[in-house]
């Protein structure tokens, strides 16, 4: 048991602190998303759109599909795909070497955002989207968390890591 703890503490695999960070970010993401959806549902009737400022507007939309309403006729597929994405993300995190705060943050955002939308799909039957920016589809905070998590991973991979030569 001591050898396992020593191996984890030297950065070979994510340790307890990295897992707790991922869980905290995911938990925060879920709570924040659910609260904003409840706030919108309490303030705007479904189908209502309100201009906020500049290119930003709010529109209470019940989305039974994926982005842009895709896969509305295959509602059973989205929860299954989401569970697979969350499981794959957690499996990836468990296997990576030398985890960092950026990785815990980014994967926590992806897991939290995905889980928040999964909760809606399973328990409500649809996802509540409510934010729009000029020429964009309507989205929610969970979608922002997922996109931000992906952006952090891409940024870390391409801009913050030293270049690898010939696969080394």
**Number of domain units in the chain:** 1
Is residue 74 in some structural domain? no
Whether the predicted model's global pTM rises above the 0.85 cut: no
Range picked from 13-17, 67-71, 72-76, 118-122 for highest mean pLDDT: 118-122
The residue with greater pLDDT, 78 or 145, is: 145
Given the residues 51, 62, 120, 143, the one annotated as active site: 143
CB 156 within 8 A of CB 52: no
pLDDT for res 142: 96
Cβ atoms of residues 160 and 102 within 8 Å: yes
Q: Does the pLDDT value for residue 48 go beyond 70?
A: yes
71 in a structural domain: no
Residue 64 included in any domain: no
For residue 73, indicate whether it is catalytic: no
The answer to the question of residue 131 being in a domain is: no
Domain that holds residue 101: 14-47+80-126+141-160
- Residue 56 inside a domain? The answer is no
Domain membership of residue 5 (yes or no) is no
Question: What are the E-state strand segments in the chain?
Answer: 49-53, 56-63, 127-133
Active site residue 51: no
**133, part of any domain:** no
Residue 166 in any domain: the answer is no
Report whether pLDDT(137) > 80: yes
**pLDDT tens digits, one per residue of 74-113:** 767 888 999 999 999 999 999 987 678 889 999 999 999 9
């Amino acid at each position: 048991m001591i050898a396992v703890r020593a191996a984890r503490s030297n950065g070979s695999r994510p340790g307890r602190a990295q897992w707790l960070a991922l869980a905290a970010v995911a938990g925060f993401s879920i709570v924040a998303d659910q609260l904003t959806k409840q706030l919108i549902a309490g303030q705007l009737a479904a189908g209502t759109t309100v201009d906020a400022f500049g290119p930003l507007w709010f529109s209470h939309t019940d989305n039974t599909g994926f982005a842009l309403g895709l896969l509305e006729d295959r509602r059973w597929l989205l929860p299954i795909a989401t569970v697979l994405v969350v499981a794959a993300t957690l499996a990836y995190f468990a296997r990576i070497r030398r985890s960092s705060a950026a990785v815990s943050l980014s994967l926590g955002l992806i897991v939290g955002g995905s889980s928040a939308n999964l909760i809606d799909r399973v328990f409500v039957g649809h996802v509540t989207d409510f934010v729009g920016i000029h020429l964009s589809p309507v989205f929610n905070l969970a979608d922002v968390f997922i996109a931000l998590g992906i952006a952090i991973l891409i940024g870390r991979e391409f801009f913050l890591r030293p270049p690898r030569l010939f696969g080394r």
